[in-house]
Amino acid sequence: MKNLNNFKIKNKKVLFRADLNVPYFNGLVTDKSRIFSIKKSIKKLLSQKNKIFIISHFGRPKDKHDKKFSLEFICPYLKEILEIKKIFFLNEFDSQSINKKINEMSFGDICLLENIRFIPEEEKNDVNFSKEITKFFDVFVNDAFSASHRLHSSIVGFTNFLPAVAGYSLIDEIKNIDSFLLNPKIPNIAIIGGSKISTKIAALNNLIELFGTIVIGGAMSNTFLVANGIKVGTSLVEKDLIDIANKFLKKAKDFNCNIILPIDVICSNNINDKNNIRYCDVNKISSNQMILDLGKKTSKIICNEITKNKMLLWNGPLGAFEFKPFDQSTLDVASAIKTHSKNKEIQAIAGGGDTISSIKLAKAEKGFKYISNAGGAFLEWLEGNESPGVIAIKENNLDYSSI
């Protein structure tokens, strides 16, 4: 795959796809990981005197210009992290504006384009839009692995008109995830949480064949409990997937994969109710309450299991971790990984926005060999599928002579 090491880009006009969809609250970026992730690629392109146009999405503005989704707020952060004195900003995508800005810039300058999702053609992967945007540039660099599962213009469409190159961060993501999936250390364990089976069943079915133990937590475990004949009160259950859950459990037995489900839980009437919190075994859940976290006995089982393994993969929190005290199992497990990793006895990788937030909440970042910035793309890779954005780079055979 063409990348910044094997494809020389010098004195060119570069269209650079980043993922700057960062958490932003009360006027502050609360996690700068995605900005730091593009630093190495940008520095390399700057050192070779290119004009760089960074393109990204932010939030879901529904195909219209909405000021609260503008990317202009991130310019000061880019200047600080990329260690540059000046950054241009372009809030229009029309040909005249782009061409004018290119002519204003010198080689070695950077321009951030406005939120690409303000343009409806982006998510439609419109051919004419891709052609119109790319005609002013020499090369496309994709350094947004976390967005590469999208069939959008700025992920796959641009590669039809420009030579396409992978950035350092994208390559790094693939290398680290593949090291766990293609060269697993035995014994190994996967911890999968989150709210719905529907978003993760494909990944789970693939992981059965790769991991000796799989822990299932979060609200998605409710459907598996129901499949085992347990009544879960008012808890979230995907009733149409109970049969799928049963088939999964049967497949796990066929592959000799140990599945760990909750044996005790923390419940309440709703997520904001702190007055009726109840700790109980899974067969004693009240009909008017919902499961909001794993119990202490289940957490202990998971933490003990972690110490038996050499490799660990984590995707998805185990409870409603944003609301105390329903963060306890997630924090306990993150701490156990950090402790076990300190002794160099386990290599751990994690991915997904909520998972990263959980790990940071537990101050357990040092327990992980690699933490992926990706959510949907991370899941897609766990399913055993290459992302469309990665495939588009691999299949791209354009070079400068074709421009």
- Domains for the chain: give ranges and CATH numbers: 13-171+387-402 (3.40.50.1260), 184-372 (3.40.50.1260)
At residue 87, the 3 state secondary structure works out as coil
Nearest Cα neighbor of 138 from 100, 116, 164 is 164
pLDDT of 402 reads: 53
Measured between alpha carbons, how far is 403 from 166 in angstroms, rounded to an integer? Answer: 19
Measured between alpha carbons, how far is 179 from 3 in angstroms, rounded to an integer? Answer: 19
- In this predicted structure, the answer to whether residue 403 has a pLDDT above a threshold of 70 is no
Contact call for residues 319 and 285 (beta carbons, < 8 A): no
Q: Strand 13-17 relative to strand 51-55: parallel, antiparallel, unpaired? A: parallel
pLDDT of 292 reads: 98
- In this predicted structure, the answer to whether residue 338 has a pLDDT above a threshold of 80 is yes
Measured between alpha carbons, how far is 216 from 17 in angstroms, rounded to an integer? Answer: 34
**Range with top average pLDDT, 29-33, 111-115, 181-185:** 111-115
pLDDT of 30 reads: 86
**pLDDT band with cut points at 50, 70 and 90 for residue 345:** confident
Nearest 5°: phi and psi at 373? -80, -5
Q: Report the b/e string of 163-178 with b at 16+ CB within 10 A.
A: bbbbbbbbbbbbeebe
**pLDDT band with cut points at 50, 70 and 90 for residue 295:** very high
Measured between alpha carbons, how far is 26 from 384 in angstroms, rounded to an integer? Answer: 38
C-alpha angle 360/142/394, rounded to 5°?
120
Write the burial class of residue 261 (CB in 10 Å: 0-12 exposed, 13-18 middle, 19+ buried): buried
- In this predicted structure, the answer to whether residue 400 has a pLDDT above a threshold of 70 is no
Q: Give, as one character, the DSSP assignment of residue 71.
A: S
At residue 150, the 3 state secondary structure works out as coil
Contact call for residues 217 and 331 (beta carbons, < 8 A): no
**pLDDT band with cut points at 50, 70 and 90 for residue 66:** confident
Percentage of residues of the chain with pLDDT beyond 70: 99
Rounded mean pLDDT, 134-148: 96
Contact call for residues 357 and 378 (beta carbons, < 8 A): no
Among 99-103, 369-373, 399-403, whose mean pLDDT is lowest?
A: 399-403
Measured between alpha carbons, how far is 210 from 361 in angstroms, rounded to an integer? Answer: 29
